[in-house]
A and B are shown apart, each in its own frame.
Chain A
Amino acid sequence: QSVLTQPPSASGTPGQRVTISCSGSSSNIRSNYLYWYQQLPGTAPKLLIYRNNQRPSGVPDRFSGSKSGTSASLAISGLRSEDEADYYCAAWDDSLSGPVFGGGTKLTVL
């Protein structure tokens, strides 16, 4: 059971906009930055969004992050086949004194 809650799956067709949610609590999402990671099949996770809504260099602006209260969302617009991957949210947890991850959402591009 992950500390942060994500839907196990999401899907969309090419060109669509898809959102993935991440729910937590006051000890993690509300009081700390939220991060998103993309894990393509057979590869290591890659930082996709940092500090709630910032994109590292090289990440397309089709990816955006937002946070409100104890929840956060990752939005992917103009969906492409290469976006098919697992997506994880993560945040520091003040109660556990360590970072925690969501269970991951498998995105399928139909």
Chain B
Amino acid sequence: QVQLQESGPGLVKPSETLSLTCTVFGGSVNSGSYYWSWIRQPPVKGLEWIGYIYYSGSTRYSPSLKSRVTMSVDTSKNQFSLKLNSVTAADTAIYYCARESSGGADFDYWGQGTLVTVSS
């Protein structure tokens, strides 16, 4: 059974960089079959896709966040990561990592989510 687990600071100051890591258990980020994804959900709002990273390191980001997002993958640790720079209060959200199975919107496994608050 695949499990994903997010980790990282729960509080980030405005203008700084949000950094999160997702560790994959029961599966391999080195698999060519999946796209490793980040999705966020502001408080009492809907879901917003942030981007994907493939095992090879190729990425695809949301056009609205592209200028501030960097994703990376560490196959030796079976992890992938998200960095979002120049954060503001609008970036306060629950951040989920998820596995996407088809290069589309097929998110079949999700982490439990981690709340990141942007505040001074």
Contact = CB atoms under 8 A, between A and B. Distances in A.
Majority DSSP secondary structure for residues of B touching A: loop
Interface string A75-110: 000000000000010111000111111111000000
B104 A92 contact: yes
A2 interface: yes
A104 B47 CA distance: 8
A35 B62 CA distance: 19
Among A44, A46, A47, A103, the one with the most B-chain Cβ atoms within 10 Å of its Cβ is A44
Interface in B91-108: 96, 100, 102-108
A45 interface: yes
Interface residues of B, number: 22
Contacts of B63: 96-98
Given A99-B49, A104-B46, A44 B108 contact: no
Given A33-B106, A35-B106, A97-B60, A44 B113 contact: yes
Interface string B26-51: 00000000000000000000111101
Interface in A23-46: 32-33, 35, 37, 43-46
Given A45-B110, A98-B63, A90 B105 contact: yes
Given A33-B105, A92-B105, A98 B111 contact: no
A46 B110 contact: yes
A47 B47 contact: no
